[in-house]
Amino acid sequence: MSDVVFIALAVLLGFAAGRQLRPLLVPYDIVIPRRLPIPELACGVLFGLATHTYSQSWRAIPVLVLVVTCVALAIVDFVKYRLPNALLFPGLVASVALIVVGEAIEGHGGRAAGVAVGALLYSAVLFVLYLVNPAGLGFGDVKLALLLGAFLGWVADGRLAAVQAVMLGLLIGSALGVVLGVGRLVAVRLGRRFLPDPLVQDGGAWHKTTFPFGPPLMVATIVIVMWPSTFVG
């Protein structure tokens, strides 16, 4: 099968996966109108990018799991400021299991070690930040870092490279978070609702500095995973 056909099929599969995410969002009181194909487009585009990067290798499969998990989590975090365990941990367990088994079969133990280093390091760094400023960073972000760090450590291919990848992912994610926070602040000052704020009840004053930090971290990780040779060599 040619790569072009494979990518096209992946895009279609991504659209189907995005549609299947809609029922998973209902328990969190999130119903996206059919006229807004947000999960379908997000999954479709990212599935296509993943298969373009990893071609017909088995390594595309855990990346697709990452994409589906992050799209679902990002939507919930944007709307509810939550990163539910019911969405996070199945994706974490499934993707890490696929990576470890796949690399073990190919005899690449170093990559599996990078997964552990990346996951533990990223989570530890965010846990320290959470202890320093629990009002500015939720514990859900600490748990999310296990998933993101695992992938950053995996694509880095090596323990030292895993450390560098985690720091890079955190740096890019923080920069995107600053942009999101500034955009929200400006929008609120202009009297516009840039993002929903679940902390506000029925017309109350909006929290000008609150915004979900999970999506910027997820975007940063996905960018690095999609273009590993550019960011981690």
Q: In this predicted structure, what is the pLDDT of residue 98? A: 95
Task: Note the pLDDT tens digit of each residue in 144-191.
Answer: 999 999 999 999 978 899 999 999 999 999 999 988 878 777 776 776
Among 28-32, 115-119, 206-210, 227-231, the minimum mean pLDDT is found in 206-210
- DSSP string across the chain: --HHHHHHHHHHHHHHHHHHHHHHHGGGT----TT--HHHHHHHHHHHHHHHHHTTSTTHHHHHHHHHHHHHHHHHHHHHS---HHHHHHHHHHHHHHHHHHHHHHT-HHHHHHHHHHHHHHHHHHHHHHHH-TTTS-HHHHHHHHHHHHHHHHHHTSHHHHHHHHHHHHHHHHHHHHHHHHHHHHHHHTT--SS--TT--TT----TT---SHHHHHHHHHHHHHSHHHHT-
Q: Which residue has the tokens 């599969």?
A: 13
Query: 203 pLDDT exceeds 60?
Result: no
What does the angle CA 101 – CA 103 – CA 108 come to, to the nearest 5 degrees?
A: 145
